[in-house]
Structure 1
């Protein structure tokens, strides 16, 4: 099938799928193709280096990667400091607290640009990519990946402690004013 034939087919599919809403199906296909390529490249790299793949990951590694995936996904998709990475694909909306911002996907541009904007501004969407990268890193460079994941896990724990402290402080101040 030619490129123009595929574009026409995707346009017809998009019209049938979501006639009253902009859904960049072509961009989603490009993102999925990129993800598949990255994943296949990781597999190829593991095979080429002869790194052993564990039969089962250690439970401690699973927990470490879970928390690190959560933190890195939020850091990349919501943190104010990483907004320059998202700026070509999103538009600033408002702060949402704890150093995070809400952004909207830019409507103008290609379907791929729109899909990338959705991916980069959604921690749930980005988590699949981050988890894949960290899991590949655990096989290819386990010591370095564990060190990075440990730092991300420490930051996530610190975030929860900071939020808990702020809640406790507000409760203490509220209780003090009521006496």
Structure 2
């Protein structure tokens, strides 16, 4: 039995024992973790090959910039109507949820497409991937990464402004 067959057999056994008949994509999620680990290791190896030293510490301002940037980019990928073509192979449109955000369901239950569907519709899940990308990028090219983070931070600030403006407008019309 090959390694792939053994992993598949193990995943099916875990599915039966874990999910109680529900279609949980344990094999696909395991694959996603493997891809994340491989990409992170490849990024770290590439950084090491360049000889760039890791920062002793990241300044608080940069950490905050990348945190807000990660938040905004994760929500953009997971919920924005403009990015729905990226999610469409794995999801089904169900309506809107919140201001300028979509609600989408998983298109296929079980398997790797289910796992990807869960990943691309979950801003909390995407934040780890995006945050890791930002950190690796920050070590490789801090100035460019700050600019990318700044764009997403500006968008997050503009979002807050839009919500505040809408609230003020509704308060004026309610008076």
Aligned residue for 2:12?
11
How far 1:87 sits from its partner (Å)?
0.3
CA distance in 2, matches of 1:114, 1:151: 31
Stretch of structure 1 that moved more, 19-28 or 149-158: 19-28
Matched, 1:138 2:145: no
Runs (4+) of structure 1 exceeding 2 A deviation are: none
Give distance in 1, aligned partners of 2:54 and 2:64.
Answer: 18
- The DSSP-based 3-state class of the residue aligned with 2:55 is coil
TM-score of the superposed pair, with normalisation by structure 1: 0.94
CA displacement at 1:22 relative to structure 2: 1.2
Does the residue aligned with 1:38 lie in a helix, a strand or coil? helix
> How far has the Cα of 1:19 moved from its partner?
1.3
SS in 2 for 1:103: strand
Calculate the TM-score normalised by the size of structure 2.
0.96
Could you say which residue in structure 2 is the equivalent of 1:72?
Answer: 73
Greater mean alpha carbon deviation, residues 120-129 or residues 95-104: 95-104
For 2:50 and 2:156, the matched residues in 1 are separated by 32
1:53 corresponds in structure 2 to: 54
User: Does 1:41 find its partner at 2:39?
Assistant: no
Q: Following TM superposition, by how much is the alpha carbon of 1:98 offset from its aligned partner in structure 2, in angstroms?
A: 2.3
Equivalent residue pairs, number: 174
Structure 1 residues 34-43 or 52-61, which shifts more?
A: 52-61
| Greater Cα offset, 95-104 or 122-131 | 95-104
Give the aligned CA root-mean-square deviation in angstroms: 1.1
